[in-house]
Amino acid sequence: MSTQSSPIIELPDIVQSLQNKQWTGTLEIIAEEGRSTHLYFQSGMIQHVAPDRNPLPLGKALNKLGLIDEADYVMTMIDYEQTGRPCGEVLKELGLVGDDEIREALSYQAREHVLEVFEWENVDVRFDAGDGKLEAAFTPQQREVKLMLAGMSLLMEAARRSDEWGIVREAIPSEHDVLAATDPSGLLPPGLVDRRLRLLVDGYRSAQEVAEAAPMPTLEVLKTLAELIQQGHLKLLSPPELAQVGVVAEADGDLEKALRVFELASSRGLDHIDLHKKIARTQTALGRTTQALRAWEGVAERCVRMQRSDLALEALREASALDPENLDLGERLAKYLVAAGETTEAAERMRSLIELASRKGNEVSSARRIALMDAYLELAPTDKEILEACAGLHLEADDKLSAMVRLDELAAVWNSEGRLEEATAIYYRILEIDAENLEARLLLAQTLAKMGSTDDAVREYRRLADILYRSGVIGNAINWPFLIKVYEAIVELEPSSTAAWEWLAKAYIEDGQHDMAVSRFIGMADSLQPAAGEPHPPEILPPLRSVVELAPHRLDVRRRLVDAYLALHQTEPAVAALRGFAEEALRQDKIAAAVEAYEEALEHQPFDMDSRRGLAAIQETKGDYEAAFLAWRSVGGMCQRAGLYEQAARDLHRAFQLREDDPETVRTLAEVEAKRGRGRNAAMLFARYAQLAFARDDRGSARDALERARQLEPGLPQLQALAAQLGAAS
C-alpha cells in the first residue's frame, strides 16, 4: 500500500485509518524541509519510532520526567563530552536510574517526537504493509522499545498541544524572543514559580533556551512564561534590547545566538545600518557565504537608499572579498561604483571580470561574456581590444548585427586617432559581413575621401546609390547634406541616372525639404520623357505619382500622369488619375476643368460610376437641380441593373431628395430597398409609389404597388387608408 499526502488525505486521517483498520506495517513520513521519520504500526498501534534526529535527548527526557535532577543531567553531559558514553549507561552505572526508568524516558522521548511530527506541514507519506521494512528502518535499540501508542490518543494530545501552542504564541511570537522580569531587581518575585525556572529568566536566555534548560516539559514551561507575560511579571525585550543581547552573545563567541537575536530585532522593525552590518558580519564569521553575500548586498541597498554610497561600497567590497570569483557580485559592485561616480574603478573591476570570465573558459557562456563586455564598454568605449573581442564573440554567436555595431565603434576609434587606414580596413570587414550595410559603406566612402582616394570614394558612393535603388531603403543615413551634394554632382554629370534622381528626391524627403524633393522627382520624370514619336517608358510613372502625392495641387503634373497612363494603355489607372484631377480642380474652384476631366474619364470608361457621380454633384452644386436629379437617377439605375444595390440605394436617395414625386425614382428605389432586405423602407416607398400612381389615375400600378407593400410590411399604417381610397375609386 502506498499513500501520498494531499489536501484530501492529511497525516492525522492516515494515522486514524491505520488504527481503525488495525494495519501492521511501516509508515514513512517526509517533510518538505528534509526531515523524515518512520513509524511502525502493529495492529493499528504505534509500536516503534525511528526519528531522523531526537529533539529531546534521553537525559533531558529523564530530567523532565523528574527521574533525575538537573545536577545529575549536567554530570552525564560532562561525562558524555569526555568519554562519549551514552547518558543511560552512565546513569545506570551510578545507580540513578534502572531499566524501567530508561524505558519510561525512551517512551516519553518517542511520544514527544511523534507529537512533533504532527506539526510538520506539506508531508509525503508511504506505507509498507507487513514487516518487510522493520529491520531496515529501525535499529535493534528502537525495536526493543515497545511503545503501544494509540493513534487516536496521540491525535487528541496533538490537537490539545496545538491549541496551547496558539496561546503561547500570542504572548511569545518567536521561540528566540528573550524574556526579562519587569521588576526593577531584574528577577521574578520569589515563590511565583519554581526557583530553578526563576533563575533561568535572566534577560539573556531566549524562551526556547529557558524551556530546554528547565527540568519540566517544554510546553509547560512556555505556558508558564506566557502566563507570566500576560500577568505583567515578564516582558519581551524590545528590538534595541535584542540587539544588545546579540552584541553580548557575539562577544561571548555564541555566534548562532547572536545571529538569531540580530535577525529577530531586524524583523521587529529595527532598521539600523549597524544592525544589518552585524547580521552580515555574523553570517560571514559562521561561514555562511551565501547568506552573508545576501546580507552584505542588503546593507548596500539600504545605504544607497540613504544616499550613503560610501557605506554601500564598503558593504559590497566586503561581499566581493568573500567571493572574488563571483561574476554576479563583481558586476553588482561595479554598478554601485558607477552610481557613486567611481567610474574609473568600476571600469577596472569590469575589465578584471572580463579576464576572469575568459579564464573560466566554457564555465561562462558567450552570452555572459558579451554582457560583461557591453557593460564595460559603456564605461570605456574606446578600448579597442575589448571592442575587437566583443565583435568576435558576436560573430561566433552568429549575431552579425551586433558584431557590425562593435566593429563600427572600433573603426570610429581608429578614425578619431587619425588612423584612417586601420579604420578603412574595419569598414571593409563590416562589408564582408553585410555588403549592403548602408552606414558602413557611407562611412567607408567618407574615410576614403578624407584619405584623398577620390576614385575609390566615388565608387563607394555609386555602390551606395545602387543599393538604395535596389532596396528602396534610404532611412537612417548619416550626413544627408554631404550625400545630397555628391548626388547633385552625379545628376549634373549624368542627367540620365534615374537612380540618382530618385535617391536625391527621397533624401530630400528624409531631410524635410519637400519642395526640393518635388523638383527632383520632376527632374527624374523629365529625364525619362520620350522624344516625339517615341513610346513612354513605364519608369516615368513612379516619379509622377510621387509628385502627385507630395504636391497634390500640381494639376499640370496630374495631367502628365494621365497622359503617361494613356500612352502606356493603362486605362483603369488613367481614369482614376482623371478623377483625382477633377477632385483637385474642384478644390481649386476650377469647375470647368473638373467637368472636362470627368467627361474624359467617361469617354475612356463609360461605366465609371464615380465620374458620373462627380458630374451629378457638380450639377447639384451649380444649382441645376433638374440635371443633377437626372444624373443621380441615371447612376442609380445603372447600379441597380448591375446588381450594385448598396451603391444604387445611395445614388437613388440623392435623386429622391431632389424630387420626391418622380414615380420612376420612387419605384426603382423601392425595388432596390427590397433587394437590400430593408422591408419597411421598401414598403413605405411602394406605398408612396401607389399614391403617385393613384394620383395619375394609374390604378393598376397603384394596386400592384399596394400589394407589394402589404407583402413586405403588412402592418404599415398608411396601407389601410390607401386601400380604402382605391376601393372607393373602384
Mean pLDDT of all residues belonging to the chain: 84
* Structure confidence by residue, pLDDT tens digits, 296-336: 888 888 887 888 877 878 888 887 878 787 888 788 888 87
Decide if pLDDT at 723 tops 90: no
Give the best-scoring range by mean pLDDT among 8-17, 68-77, 128-137, 422-431: 422-431
Are 57 and 187 part of one and the same domain? no
Are 157 and 17 part of one and the same domain? yes
Are 130 and 185 part of one and the same domain? no
Are 160 and 217 part of one and the same domain? no
Longest dimension (CA), the chain: 140
As to burial, measured by CB atoms within 10 angstroms (0-12 exposed, 13-18 middle, 19+ buried), residue 308 is middle
Please state the domain count of the chain: 3
Q: Would you say residue 618 lies in a domain?
A: no
How confident is the model at residue 49, as a pLDDT? 85
Q: Would you say residue 99 lies in a domain?
A: yes
Look at 379 and 498; give whichever has higher pLDDT: 379
Are 136 and 228 part of one and the same domain? no
Choose the final residue of a domain: 142, 164, 186. 164
How confident is the model at residue 3, as a pLDDT? 42
Determine contact, residues 682/706, Cβ cutoff 8 Å: no
Are 202 and 158 part of one and the same domain? no
What's the rounded Cα separation, in Å, for the pair 660 and 455?
78
What's the rounded Cα separation, in Å, for the pair 478 and 484?
11
- Identify the CA nearest to 582 among candidates 607, 560, 555: 555
Mean pLDDT of 654-681: 92
* Structure confidence by residue, pLDDT tens digits, 13-35: 788 788 888 889 998 888 866 67
Helices 625-641/663-675 angle, 10° precision:
40
Assign 556 a pLDDT band (cuts: 50, 70, 90): very high
Residue 538 CB neighbours (<10 A): 11
Determine contact, residues 590/623, Cβ cutoff 8 Å: no
Decide if pLDDT at 250 tops 60: yes
Q: Would you say residue 547 lies in a domain?
A: no
How confident is the model at residue 490, as a pLDDT? 61
Q: Could you write out the DSSP letters of every residue in 362-418?
A: GGS-HHHHHHHHHHHHHH-TT-HHHHHHHHHHHHHTT-HHHHHHHHHHHHHHHHHTT
Give the best-scoring range by mean pLDDT among 107-121, 346-360, 446-460: 346-360
Are 91 and 181 part of one and the same domain? no
What's the rounded Cα separation, in Å, for the pair 681 and 688?
11
Assign 4 a pLDDT band (cuts: 50, 70, 90): very low
Laid out side by side, the sheet with 45-51 consists of 123-129, 25-31, 36-42, 45-51, 149-150
Look at 31 and 494; give whichever has higher pLDDT: 31
Look at 216 and 533; give whichever has higher pLDDT: 533
As to burial, measured by CB atoms within 10 angstroms (0-12 exposed, 13-18 middle, 19+ buried), residue 191 is exposed
Q: Would you say residue 122 lies in a domain?
A: yes
Q: Would you say residue 187 lies in a domain?
A: yes
Q: Would you say residue 131 lies in a domain?
A: yes
Are 70 and 182 part of one and the same domain? no
Q: What range defines the domain where residue 204 resides?
A: 172-237
Are 23 and 132 part of one and the same domain? yes
Choose the final residue of a domain: 237, 269, 287. 237
**Has this prediction a pTM greater than 0.75?**
no
Mean pLDDT of 138-144: 82
Q: What are 587's three cell numbers?
A: 478644390
* Structure confidence by residue, pLDDT tens digits, 365-416: 889 899 999 999 989 999 999 999 999 999 989 999 999 999 999 999 999 9
Are 115 and 88 part of one and the same domain? yes
Q: How far is CA 43 from CA 18, 111, 151, 665, in A?
A: 8, 18, 11, 102
Q: Give the H/E segment covering residue 37.
A: strand 36-42
Q: Would you say residue 71 lies in a domain?
A: yes
What's the rounded Cα separation, in Å, for the pair 663 and 671?
12
- Identify the CA nearest to 14 among candidates 36, 46, 55: 46
Q: Would you say residue 509 lies in a domain?
A: no
Look at 436 and 408; give whichever has higher pLDDT: 408
Are 15 and 152 part of one and the same domain? yes
Are 139 and 38 part of one and the same domain? yes
- The residues with which 234 forms a beta bridge, in sequence order, are 181
Tell me the one-letter amino acid at 373.
M
How confident is the model at residue 454, as a pLDDT? 65
What's the rounded Cα separation, in Å, for the pair 465 and 472?
10
| Degrees to nearest 5, angle at CA 439 with 438 and 440 | 95
* Structure confidence by residue, pLDDT tens digits, 671-692: 999 999 999 999 999 989 988 9
| Degrees to nearest 5, angle at CA 319 with 315 and 325 | 150
Choose the final residue of a domain: 164, 183, 207. 164
Q: Could you write out the DSSP letters of every residue in 482-539?
A: HHHHHHHHHHHH-TT-HHHHHHHHHHHHHTT-HHHHHHHHHHHHHHHPPPTTSPPPGG
Least confident of 266-275, 354-363, 371-380, 490-499: 490-499
- Identify the CA nearest to 352 among candidates 370, 335, 327: 327
Assign 5 a pLDDT band (cuts: 50, 70, 90): very low
Assign 64 a pLDDT band (cuts: 50, 70, 90): low
> Coil, strand, or helix at residue 27?
strand
Residues 6+ apart with CB under 8 A from 380: 347, 350, 351, 386
How confident is the model at residue 338, as a pLDDT? 84
